[in-house]
Amino acid sequence: MSRCWAWPVRARHSRQTELKAGSKIEKPEKTPIGVIGVGWVGLVTAACFAELGHPVFARDVVEEKVASLSRGELTIYEPGLAEMIERNAERLEFTTDIELVLGRAQLLFVCVDTPPTYSGDADLSRVRSVVADLPADSDHVLVMKSTVPAGTGETIRRDLPDMAYVSCPEFLKEGTAIEDFLNPDRVVVGATAEDADAAEAVAELYRPLGGEIVMTDTSSAEMIKLASNAYLATRISFINEIANVCDEVGADVGEVARGMGLDERIGPHFLRPGIGFGGSCFPKDVNALKLLAGNSGYHFQLLNSVIEVNELQKRRVVSKLSRHLGSLVGKRVALLGLAFKPETDDMREASSLVLSARLRGEGADVVAFDPVAMEKARTLLPGVEMKDTALKALENSDAAVLVTEWPEFREIDWAGAAATMRRPLVIDGRNYLDADQMRGAGLTYEGIGRPGVGTETE
């Protein structure tokens, strides 16, 4: 089936047979891939397909981004990505020229972002402009990686009758995106019966990676993506509430999660409590699903609670600090980690944004350190004093809050750090540090939902 999409592409349009001059990639052996939108998803998708031996033509409208990527300079941080791009430079072409992509590849992976609008619904304007860039009689295959509301594919399909449409949502996690791409749990491929050939061609690309291929209809594929993210977010809010109860009743949420997770029906994943989920996906997708339901006349009650619990969770640390320090006015609080999770510099919807604003609202002086996100954080957190190292952030502080579980925070000489702090108090927002070790180092240590573990040495 994949031969339909192999080089040269089906010659229905002259644009597809007249290969553009100036492309560095000559006749390839594997199916050429077009990637439209070279943000984080697009870049990982482009790099991984190139790694699998496909020639990839990746297009973005932002000229500076294309220029720096063509020089091998990345604008985002994702482990292993820069090396992968360098390794596959000869198979990867970055361009602003949509015609070049249309002429070279028939499978077009759409990876533009769909951020929330003021109404909270997904903003589909970038998806629409991709569609508008295609000739009305295009017979390309639009493979939608961007997260879109269920029903979007059907609408696009109606507008472009000659083109095939396949929904292939992405399930990559920031920080482990390459591993996730190359070892998928499952690949979801949704299309109408009319586009079965196109769906099969997409499935064929992913088959060598293993992982179940879920062939389904377009709207179900779109729903699988939203429902997966909303469910994972629900698990996090659930375990956060359990942690809050553990704080009250003296149980250890780590033990509770372990005991729950051993039940095969529950499983161990996404039961880590903390100071709330963030990032560009969970907050946006939970809300988008809630609104999608609402716009269709259904009130998705559970998701309201998932969102509310998450918002409150980001603030709970403030009351934990107040219990130890009394008024926070003039108190110096060090934030360790600012990114929404480790191994990324992504600050979107990071808990650190809400937490630092709340702390400053209470009159605290906030200092912070993050191994990679500081440059981005500087503009987002203008009143927060950034320090070059964790130790410098801890110096003279009245308390530290571990916000992001970067491995290097486990390597800190905590006894040495405690000696430089005004008050050796650490609130571990991710239950990441060893409570006994912290206590042994002379610190007052408190986690989330484990009151009996290493607390109260003051």
Binding site for ligand UGA (CB under 6 A): 147, 170-174, 229, 232, 236, 270-272, 274, 277-279, 281-282, 340-341
| DSSP secondary structure letters along 280-333 | SSHHHHHHHHHHHHHHTT---HHHHHHHHHHHHHHHHHHHHHHHHHS--TT-EE
Contact yes or no for 76/53 (Cβ under 8 A): no
Two tokens at 255? 């033990």
Complex with ligand UGA: residue 147 or 444, whichever CB lies closer: 147
Closest CB 43 distance from ligand UGA, rounded Å: 13
Comparison of 267 and 383: residue with beta carbon closer to ligand UGA: 267
Beta carbon of residue 136, minimum distance to ligand UGA (angstroms, whole number): 31
Q: Specify the residue for token string 């629409």.
A: 128
Dihedral angle computed from the Cα positions of residues 239, 244, 248 and 249, in that order, rounded to the nearest 10 degrees: 0
Closest separation in Å from C-beta 220 to ligand UGA: 17
**Euclidean distance between CA atoms 1 and 4, whole angstroms:** 6
What the block records as the tokens of 268 is: 């161990």
Give the torsion sign (CA, 349, 352, 355, 360): negative
Which CB atom, from 173 or from 378, has the smaller least distance to ligand UGA? 173
- Cα radius of gyration rounded to whole Å, the chain: 24
* Spatial separation of the C-alpha atoms in residues 282 and 310, rounded to whole Å: 11
Query: String of b and e for 348-380 (b: at least 16 CB within 10 Å)?
Result: bbbbbbbbbbbbbebebbbbbbbbbbbebbeee
Residue among 146 and 444 whose Cβ is closer to ligand UGA: 146
Residue number with CB closer to ligand UGA (112 or 328): 112
The region, left, alpha or beta by phi > 0 then psi within -120 to 50, assigned to residue 259 is: alpha
Tokens of 296: 């269709």
- Strands, DSSP E only, in 323-450? 332-336, 365-369, 385-386, 399-402, 425-428, 444-446
Question: Look-up: residue for tokens 């020229």?
Answer: 97
Measured CA to CA, the distance from residue 375 to residue 94 in angstroms comes to 25
Structure tokens at 51: 């790694």
Which residue, 100 or 339, has its beta carbon nearer to ligand UGA?
Answer: 339
Distance (Å, whole) CA 192 – CA 245: 47
Nearer to ligand UGA, 59 or 225 (CB): 225
The amino acid present at 5, given as its one-letter code, is W
> Least CB distance from residue 234 to ligand UGA, whole Å?
11
Query: 111 with 35: CB under 8 angstroms?
Result: yes
Min dist CB 391 to ligand UGA, Å, is 24
- Identify which of residues 49 and 171 has a Cβ nearer to ligand UGA in the complex: 171
Active-site residue list = 281
Beta pairing, strands 56-59 & 92-95: parallel
- Give 386's strand partners: 368
Name the residue nearer to ligand UGA (CB basis): 271 or 318.
271
